[in-house]
Amino acid sequence: MAWLLLLSFLAFGIRIVYTFIYFYVMGFPSFINIRRDFSPLSLRPAGLFTRGLNPSLRHPLFHVCRAMAVAATSVDQGFEKIQIQRENGNSVFDVYVKGEEGAPGVVVVQEWWGVDYEVKNHASTIAKMDYRSLIPDLYRGKVGLDVAEAQHLLEGLDWQGAVKDIAASAKWLKENGSSKVGVTGFCMGGALSIASAVLVPEIDAAVAFYGVPPPELADASCAKTPVQGHFGELDNMAGFSDVEAAKSLEAKLQAAGVPYEIYIYPNNGHAFMNSSPDAINRKIECGFAEHDPEAVKIAWSRFDEWFGKYIKQRSSI
């Protein structure tokens, strides 16, 4: 009799847990006030990223958006892996460098996935334009293989520390042959690129792709270097990289009095620059717009023209 009673309690407990998980994933009734995705916007705007994703990808139980990511600790695609440290010397981190010594430097800042195959593809593209690319590993060797892991890594990121990593990266490039240094980034990295234009004196120009920093991190109206921004018309990351965020950024850059350009690409969504087969599949699985190779080509052309004007040393200048 006792074991039957114990079994009944166990079954009842399992049903309660199952019911809780069901509502946690599918949504609680309106009279139950539980915040599933709480993350303070101040310096940790994770909610801005997940808000625009396919709903089935927001919760850790749904590892649908698997990324075929290469481990960040592996050195591939012709990158040199070295270690540098922040100015105060209390944090040493890996960076991945590609391009000729003496070329103008570009700090390439990762998306929320980490230093995966796609940010290395971007850095390789930039190196082919006669820049010296450097990717700082902001996650210290960790890579998000799905949305849940990426969100976890993003929520644990020290945003102010990430800006310090970018500053140390820019300083290293200047100390190792690059007379001028720009910064570029994608998604999370785009936001950090704009923050660097405000906070990092070593940065001479910035190009940001679909990402704006929260004002608690950096106020774009205080930008000190030229900024170019690229956004997708269909991007639905409200307040972070949608059209309204792009327009707000433009107004702030105008107030800052620095040279700026803001481009909005019709019929393109978030992460539209990601062009490898795996990255294209990842975009589709995440609910973003279809890939547009022509938009990518135009954006890279504008990128090179901007950095060519502000950080490349040309005989015509």
Whether the per-residue pLDDT at 69 is higher than 50: the answer is no
| Mean pLDDT (whole number) for 176-191 | 98
Mean pLDDT of the chain: 84
In the structure, what pLDDT confidence band is assigned to residue 70 with cuts at 50, 70 and 90? very low
224: helix, strand or coil: coil
Count of CA atoms in the C-beta half-sphere (13 A) of 255: 11
- 116, pLDDT greater than 90: yes
Position 89 scores a pLDDT of: 72
For the beta sheet containing 132-136, the strands, ordered from the edge strand earlier in sequence to the opposite edge, are 80-85, 92-98, 132-136, 105-109, 181-186, 205-209, 227-232, 260-265
Question: pLDDT tens-digit profile of 11-44?
Answer: 656 655 554 544 444 444 333 333 333 233 334 4
Mean pLDDT to the nearest integer, 136-156:
95
pLDDT at 88: 79
In the predicted structure, residue 57 carries a pLDDT above the cut 50: no
Apex 59 CA angle, 54 and 61, nearest 5? 120
Q: Is the pLDDT of residue 240 over 80?
A: yes
Read off the pLDDT band of 90 (50, 70, 90): confident
Q: How do residues 118-129 score in pLDDT, each as one tens digit?
A: 999 999 999 999
pLDDT-derived band of residue 241, with 50, 70 and 90 as boundaries? very high
- What is the rounded average pLDDT of the residues 287-314? 94
Quote the pLDDT of residue 48.
55
Summarize pLDDT for 26-35 with one digit per residue, the tens. 444 333 333 3
Of 25-39, 87-101, 157-171, 282-296, the one with minimum mean pLDDT is 25-39
Predicted TM-score (pTM) above 0.85 = no
Could you tell me the end-to-end alpha-carbon distance of the chain, in angstroms, rounded to an integer?
91
Based on the number of CB atoms within 10 Å of its own CB, is 15 exposed (0-12), middle (13-18) or buried (19 or more)? exposed
How would you label 233-269 residue by residue, b for 16+ Cβ within 10 Å and e otherwise?
A: bbbbbebbbbeebbeebbebbeebebebebebbeebb
